[in-house]
Structure formats: structure tokens, C-alpha cells
Amino acid sequence: MPDIPHLMELLKSGNPNQRYDACEQLRVSRQPLSQDVIDALSATTSDANPDVADAARRALALHAPQLKPVTLTENEAGDKATTDTANLWFRWVIASSLSIMIGGPAVLLLLVFTDFGNQSQIPYILAGLLLGAILGASQAFVLQNYGYSVVRWITLSALGLAVGTPVGFFIHDHNLTISGYVVASAIGFALGIAQTAGFPDYSHTHLVWIPVSMVSVIVIYFIVNLVNPFSQTVDSPEGAAFILCQAALFTIPFYGLITGLVIQWITQRRQIRMMSIADK
């Protein structure tokens, strides 16, 4: 028999997975639910996480079928989605900025104290894994309340940069005749494709994340290049890591500012889509 008071507390948890589990356990409960529990589930149908809100609706459909689900117009659904994701952009900018501040020096230390030879791609792979994991973890902390898988987002971010970083520098091949923008494009492209697979459900709108990711990394390179016009001269992994530190110092907000607007838009569209499905 489920511990109803405990489940009621879990409905107030800051962890969306716990709120979802509480809804599911209440749904399968064989004992009648009190009016207080019904009211709590009703309130949870407006949860910012669309998966939690949907779980609450399914629980109410079994235990309180007499309650009619609130039907929102398209404008009302849009307004609610905007309200639910109001602070997503700000939190995303802060999280992404912190990850760059931490990740740049961390990668520098990694590459300074490891020696695989200048011709090896292993340092770039390790650098991509480390920076991708730090970036993914900070972003996943923000996204977890909106139906995103934390483990999946971190893993895909790390894999994206672990692939994009060595590929970009391999194409560049320390050659000034090939622009550093090629490196930035390759890194942004790989990260964008990887993270696109981390969105909770497929939609064509997610594909916009790939060019946005590319543009955000290119902007970072552009700004670093203004600060150091010879930043495309990379003759060692340590040199590449030094450029990362420059990026951390001079471009802290730009990646988050650009990608934050788009992640908020994608998340709002998903919220509206989930509410539309629930109303049918």
C-alpha cells in the first residue's frame, strides 16, 4: 500500500522525476484517494514539466473521472508555456557561462599534464569529453525540470565535443590556409547533432538547433580572434587549450545568450504540443 502522505510530499519535490513517480504511484493505488490528494493532483496538471502534468492527468482520469480536464485555447496554451519557461533562458545563460568558465581552465590543465605527442588526436578527444561533460551537466541541471533526461544530455554533449573537437583540428591540420572558422563550424555542428538527439521527443523544429550550435561556436571564435588575431595558429593541444581559456575569459555570455533563446523556444513549443495532446 503506497504511503499517501509521503507521495503528497513528493508532488511538491523540486525533482521532476520524483513528482512523476508520485503521480504514477497514486494512479495505480487501489485505495480511494481523498479530496486533498485529488486537489494536489489537479494542481499538478499545471506542472511546468509536461511529462509530470500528463502523469497527473492520467491519475485523475482513473480516480476522479468526473473531473473534466481544463481545456486551453491555443493562445492560453501559448501563454502558459511562456510563463512556465520564463526563467529558462536566464538559468541557461548562467549555467552555460559557468561551464565555460570552469571547462576552459580544466581542459588546459588536462592537456598541460598529459603528453600524447603533437600529432595525436587523443588530447582533443579528451578535451572534448571533459568540456562536453561539464557543459552538458550544467545545461542538464536547468533542463531536467522540462522533461529532458539528465544522463542522456550529459552523455550526448560529451560525445558531441569528443567527436567535433578532433575532427575540427584534424581538418585544420595546423594550417593557416584553412580558416579557424572551419574548426569552429565542425565543433558546433557535431555538438548540435549530438544534443538534438537529447530532446525529449522528435520534432522538425529541433533541427534548428544544429545551425544555432554552429553559429554560437563561430561567434565565440570570432570574438577570440578579435582579441588575438593569431588565435588560429594552433601548433599543439596546449595551444588549443589556451584558446579555450581565452574563449572562457572573453566570450562567457555569448554562447548561452544565443543558444538560450532557441532552447527556450523549442521547450515552449513542446509544452504547447503536450498541452494540446492532453486536451484531446
CA dihedral sign, ordered 205, 94, 47, 6: positive
CB distance 158 to 128 below 8 Å = yes
> What region does 205 belong to: left with phi over 0, alpha with psi -120 to 50, or beta?
alpha
pLDDT in tens, 108-159: 777 767 766 556 778 888 888 998 999 999 999 988 878 788 899 999 999 9
CB distance 216 to 170 below 8 Å = no
pLDDT in tens, 178-231: 677 888 888 999 999 999 999 887 677 788 999 999 999 888 878 777 766 444
Phi and psi for 118 in degrees, rounded to 5?
-65, -20
3-state secondary structure of 48: coil
pTM: 0.68
3-state secondary structure of 124: helix
